[in-house]
Structure formats: structure tokens, C-alpha cells
Structure 1
Amino acid sequence: MSRNPTDRWQPQPGTPWQWQLSGELDLTVDVPVYDVDWEVPRGVVDRLHADGRRVIGYLSVGTAEEYRSDVGGFPAEVVGAALGDWPDERWLDVRRIDLLATVLLRRLDVCREKGFDAVEPDNVDAWTHQTGFPLTAEDQLRFNRWIAGAAHDRGLAVGLKNDVAQAADLVDDFDFAVNEECLRFSECRALDPFVAAGKAVLHVEYGMSPTKFGRTAPVRGFSSMLKNRRLDAYRVTHPGG
């Protein structure tokens, strides 16, 4: 697909969405935006486009996932500690863009070739975790801006995943934000710069009953859902959203 790198889609605050990374994909949810794994077949992206949807591709850029076919492309020296509750993922040394670029840029190329409108690069907050590497805030900013620029070079919009501590610094580099559990961690206000800039915040909470979720105050301008942590088809929207 030929793209003009300056002609990017940008979701607006409050845009409804569906996020599904596991289970049989339900492509019938009546929303304008889907977020799915970057390795779905091209036909899935085409089907969603034919139904009038925009499509975001989820890909981890801050970890090596053992189940990905290209994981062997990461040199051992850039693969660090295991990622919390995800033993099949290990943190990457984001200081070493020179050693990460081949794999990560190829993934972005695949997303462009499949026709994705945007990408959601995950695990871009390594500097706040125990990674096995002495990462700094500046290391993370440099890496995050690099991945955003690489997506933009391919005509893809790009979302800032979590990394709320640097949201104000990165709002100009990213086209929207994706957030998990900012209500639980009292971090939602850190993403206000995105809403103020007319950029969507695609937000999920986990582990609540629908009743409890409905009693929480909606976050102004956010696109909020209650999801299962495994990110299957289950989806509850906020009644006040």
C-alpha cells in the first residue's frame, strides 16, 4: 500500500474502540476503531477496512516475546530480565537502537504492508521497571521518539502506550495514547495533555465488575472500556462515557 507519510489518521478524544489480542476475533463490534495484534492476516485488516473501521496494530517494541518468529533477531546482549507476570517476555535494552532497529523496523514495514492505519508500540516505559539495564528517563525518551518517527516515516499513526510519567514530554511526538488502569493507579490526569491537544486516549480498566465500573466517574475525553486482562472479545463501555 502506498502512503503519504504526512497524511496520517489521528483518532479524536472520545472515539469508541475495541481492543482484542486473544481468542477468536469478533469483527462485529459496532465501533470505528479496532486494535488487534500486528501478526493478524492481511485479510483481517481488509475486512475491518471494508466495514469502515480504522485498524491499529499492537506490537511490543520494548520486550522480546519468545513466541514471535523473529525473536531470534535480537542479539543476546540486548535481552534482559523477565517482564513481571509475563515469563515469556524479556525486557530489551532500548539504549541500543542500533541493535534493535532491524527487527523493529521490519515489524513496522509489515504493519504498513498489511494496511494498518496506526500502531500501538507496547512496553515503552522500561525505564520505570527492573529490566537488567541501567535505563534513564532520557534513554526512554530517545527510544520512544525514535519509534514514533519510524512509524510516521511509514505513514502510520502511533500511540503512546502507558509511560504516563513522560506523556507531557511526548504528546507532540505521538498521535494518541493507549492506557491501562490509570484509574486504578490514579494516573489519568497525566494524560490530559493528549485530550487538550485533540488526541484520543484509548483507556481500559481491568478487574472490576460492570456495576463498579459504571459507578466510577468517566474521565473527560477518554475512550474508556472495561476489559478482561487477557484482552479477549469481552468489552463493557462506561455508561457516562
Structure 2
Amino acid sequence: MKMTLIKYLVTFLLLIASSNALAAPPTFSLPYNQWRMISLPATPSVLANTVEAILGDNMAAGGVYQQNWIVYVYDTSSNSYRSLLSLADTMEKDKGYWIIQNFNKGTVRLDMPVNSTETPSSESIPLAASINGSNQWTLAGNPFATPLALGDLRLSTTAPSCNDGRCNLDKAKQNKLINDQVWTYNGSRYEKKGTNNQLDAWSGFWTVSLSNSQNHTLSLQRSNTEIKAIPVYNQAYQENFSADTIAEILNSARNAYVLVDALEDDIGKFVNQIKSKQNQVAGYISAGTGENYRSDFEDLKPYLSPTAWPQWPDEFFVSETTTGILPLMKKRIDKIAAWGADWIEFDNMDWLDEKTRQQYNLSATVPEANAYINALCDHTHAKGMNCMAKNTVDNFTQFDGVLYESYQDQKNWWDTQGTREFLTAGKRVIINHYNEANCDAVYAEYIDFYDDKNISFICEDTATKKYKHYNQE
């Protein structure tokens, strides 16, 4: 059957855009001649993230793009449908897409490309905010390979009425931030779904942001995964005394988060042995500085400040982030991934602010620095590992956990709102406290402050002059 596809599709999509009931059904199977809204249930590799790479093989038996199958995306910036995606356009998780095929009178089975990676449970779904106080629609998608319970979603936002990360959809609507319902499309009509419903994998959906969301950031995160406090071991750094040794880690660490300097070959070779004790291993990378004792320092030098950081004289701030340094840092991530690590912990990711930029004559802007860090996390996810932020989560909501460095006279010096949001979203939160005579009291203080026993804690003990570990089984 032949059809003048473009005119038909554009007319249909315009009718959908003007309707008050919106959305699409959850399915892996694309039926004949019926619109569906889909999303990606995993993260495709950077080499296979285009329309052609993701869907082309599924459509190979008779499908010709723009003739008998097609994909559209909704542009929230203009509140309109873009012209159809090209085969070379990229597709992203968290987004919803309209799709139709009319060459297979049965169904076409959709699957993800080889080497796609599981979406972390802490993934956030970005939403567009209201413009001029009017309702703003976002065509979003379930990014997970499992059903997404709407009752488990929490709104992460800068709006004061819901900025603690604990607002469910009902409370978000009460505060006029987002609607408490989403809309899916079943092939013939829209269906409303509320907090008692769920969205299956591959399901796209519409959500609407309300008037009070104007000028605020918005995203949805699931909170149904409780991450309990676990032991923390740290071989990579310390402030005053001795870091944990590999021998101590192998002897004592069980079901723990273990941070090691896996860039060094004599340490990286122990990763799999540490993991065999049911530990999660994190590899340390300083993303905001180059260290002169690393083997790749000469390669990094063109992108660094020539002036050493006085606090750490072996380190030099990253100055330029948009050209050659990104592939060099990705090589570090690749090396740690090859050792078999589970996490990358990014140190000095908050190195660049306007004061430091001017003092050291750094070239990168703050937005460029943030984009650079997020690109490193994207690469980490593509390698099947999680991202651990350090000392900040501002502009880094895609990270899977955060570690804060704490001091006797500086507790909670960071943005505690971000900490609460990570805890609510079920993300790993670790506090690495230094130079303390009463570690137990400090840990209890943090648990009380956040009203959450799931904070993990490690403490430099002044009595033993070593790290003290908690939550040991």
C-alpha cells in the first residue's frame, strides 16, 4: 500500500497537538498503520544512537524511511513538531517519539542495538517549564527496561515549594508545578494515567508543567529504590593520616563502596579481586585538574593552566574543555573500565567558578565546564559504569551518587538541597569526614540532619590515625 506519507503524518500530528488528551501506549511491537509513542528503554552506544542504527534493522524487511515508516519528535522550545527526523538524527532516552509503519500488516518488533546499556535507576527525566505562566507540554519517555510506577516519581525542581526532592505528583500539582497525571496513546485515543498506574518499557507519554514552574528547572526521578548505607573504603586519598591499603581492603571490605586509584597499574590490577568480595569498586579521576605525576600529564599540559594549585602543588587546573582534553579524559575512563570498575568518582568537578577563572586566566566558561563534566559522565554510563559526583551536584543531576568531604569546622558546607534530592531519588550519598575525635557523634549528627539512615560514612579517626568504617556486616 502506498501513501503520501508526509502530508498525512503532519496533518495527524497537528490534530494530536491541539487535543486536550495526550500520549501513547507501552509496547515493544509496532502494529500496522497505527501511531505509537515510544521511548528508548536503554542507552544506545554513541556509535549506534541514530534513527537508522536503532530502528533501521527492525524495518529492513520492506521498510523504506519516509515512504512507509517515519519518526517525529515534539520541540518544546517552539511548541510544535519538528519536520520528520532524518535517519542520521540521534535519539535519546527520556524523550518520547511518534512512530508509524505501514509495510508490515502484522507487527514490527522493536529492539535496542547491541551494546546498549541499562539506564541507571537514578536517571532523571527532564521537563520543560511554563512560559509566561501558560501550560507547557513535554513529550517524555520511560527510560527504563522495567515498568515505571507513577506513584514512585518525585519532582526535582528549583521551585521553593518543592525543592526538597520529596514532592510526589500529587503535591507537585497542589503547588501548581506539574500535573499529577500523564497521557498515553493506545492507537486510537488518549488514556490518562495517575499515581496508581505505571508506564511500561518503551512507553512515551505527555506531561504538562503548570504556571508556578515558570523560570524553574524540572525533572522527574523515581524514588522506589532504597539504597541502604554500606561500608566505605578509600585507598585513593586522605587529608591527615593514612588511607586504606589494598591489603586492608582485601582483608576487611565486604559489600562496600571501595575507592581506589585505578589509573595506577599496580592498583588497577586488584579491581577484580576486590569485587570478588561483593564490593563496588570506584576508580578515581581528577576531572578538574591535571596531576604532574600521571603518565598522561604531558598530553594534558596544553589544556591546563601553567600555574600550579597552591593547595595541591602537583596539580594544575583545567583551562580549556572544548577540544583535546575530553578524549584524553575518556581514555582514563576507558582504562578504569577495562580493569572492571563499577564507578568513576570525579574529583575537582567544581574547580571552575568565576573567581578561579579570573585568578588563573582559565579559558573555559562555567557552562562549558559543566558540559565537559556531564560529557565525561555520559561516557562513563556508555561504558556500563556509574558516576559518583564529588562535593557538588549542582548541574549534575544525571550522576548516580555523590561524595562530600566534611571537616570538624565545616559540616554541610555544600548545597544540602542537592543532597536531599539525591537521597530521595535513591542515589548513593557518602560523607568522607576528616580529622575527628568523635566519629560516631558526627555520623549521628548527619543522620539526624537529613533524617535518613541511608547515608554512608567514612571518618578519619584521630585516635587510630586511620579511616574508621561503618555499616560493616
Superposed pair shares fold, TM > 0.5: yes
In structure 1, C-alpha distance between the alignment counterparts of 2:443 and 2:229, rounded to whole Å:
17
Task: Determine which of 235, 258, 273 is the counterpart of 1:47.
Answer: 273
Percent identical pairs in the alignment equals 21
Please list every run of 5 or more consecutive structure 1 residues that lacks an aligned counterpart in the other structure: none
2:445 is aligned to 216
In structure 2, C-alpha distance between the alignment counterparts of 1:184 and 1:130, rounded to whole Å:
23
1:24 is aligned to 245
Displacement after TM superposition at 1:213 (Å): 2.9
Code of the aligned partner of 2:296: D
1:107 is aligned to 332
CA contact (8 A) 2:233 2:244 kept: no
Please list every run of 5 or more consecutive structure 2 residues that lacks an aligned counterpart in the other structure: 1-114, 123-225, 237-242
CA contact (8 A) 2:254 2:278 kept: no
The structure-2 alpha-carbon separation of the partners of 1:122 and 1:217, relative to structure 1 and needing over 3 Å to count, comes to: closer
Task: Determine which of 145, 158, 179 is the counterpart of 2:374.
Answer: 145
Displacement after TM superposition at 1:192 (Å): 1.1
Displacement after TM superposition at 1:184 (Å): 2.1
Point out the more displaced range, 116-125 or 77-86. Answer: 77-86
The structure-2 alpha-carbon separation of the partners of 1:179 and 1:146, relative to structure 1 and needing over 3 Å to count, comes to: same
Per-residue CA shift, 1:118-167, capped at 9, x if unaligned? 11011100123625116543223211211110111111111111125x1x
Task: Determine which of 415, 421, 426 is the counterpart of 1:193.
Answer: 421
Higher RCO structure, 1 or 2 (CA under 8 Å, sep 6+): 1
1:121 is aligned to 346
Code of the aligned partner of 1:51: K
1:155 is aligned to 384
CA contact (8 A) 2:432 2:457 kept: yes
Code of the aligned partner of 1:180: E
In structure 2, C-alpha distance between the alignment counterparts of 1:9 and 1:31, rounded to whole Å:
23
Q: Does 1:74 align with 2:289?
A: no
2:405 is aligned to 180
1:226 is aligned to 459
- Secondary structure of 2:368's counterpart equals helix
- Secondary structure of 2:252's counterpart equals coil
Q: Does 1:35 align with 2:259?
A: yes
The structure-2 alpha-carbon separation of the partners of 1:113 and 1:208, relative to structure 1 and needing over 3 Å to count, comes to: same
The structure-2 alpha-carbon separation of the partners of 1:143 and 1:63, relative to structure 1 and needing over 3 Å to count, comes to: same
CA contact (8 A) 1:35 1:56 kept: yes
In structure 2, C-alpha distance between the alignment counterparts of 1:109 and 1:223, rounded to whole Å:
27
Point out the more displaced range, 155-164 or 35-44. Answer: 35-44
1:204 is aligned to 432
CA contact (8 A) 1:18 1:29 kept: no
In structure 2, C-alpha distance between the alignment counterparts of 1:122 and 1:64, rounded to whole Å:
11
- Secondary structure of 1:130's counterpart equals helix
CA contact (8 A) 1:176 1:199 kept: yes
Which is higher, the Rg of structure 1 or of structure 2? 2
Per-residue CA shift, 1:156-198, capped at 9, x if unaligned? 111111125x1xx322x11111111185253362311111111
Per-residue CA shift, 1:185-230, capped at 9, x if unaligned? 533623111111110111111122125535634242321221279x
The structure-2 alpha-carbon separation of the partners of 1:77 and 1:140, relative to structure 1 and needing over 3 Å to count, comes to: closer
TM-score w.r.t. structure 1 length? 0.82
What's the RMSD between the two structures over aligned residues? 3.1
1:6 is aligned to 118
> Which has a greater percent of helix?
1
In structure 2, C-alpha distance between the alignment counterparts of 1:208 and 1:139, rounded to whole Å:
37
The structure-2 alpha-carbon separation of the partners of 1:23 and 1:214, relative to structure 1 and needing over 3 Å to count, comes to: closer
Point out the more displaced range, 115-124 or 155-164. Answer: 155-164
- Secondary structure of 1:227's counterpart equals strand
CA contact (8 A) 2:254 2:277 kept: no
Point out the more displaced range, 15-24 or 196-205. Answer: 15-24
CA contact (8 A) 1:9 1:157 kept: no
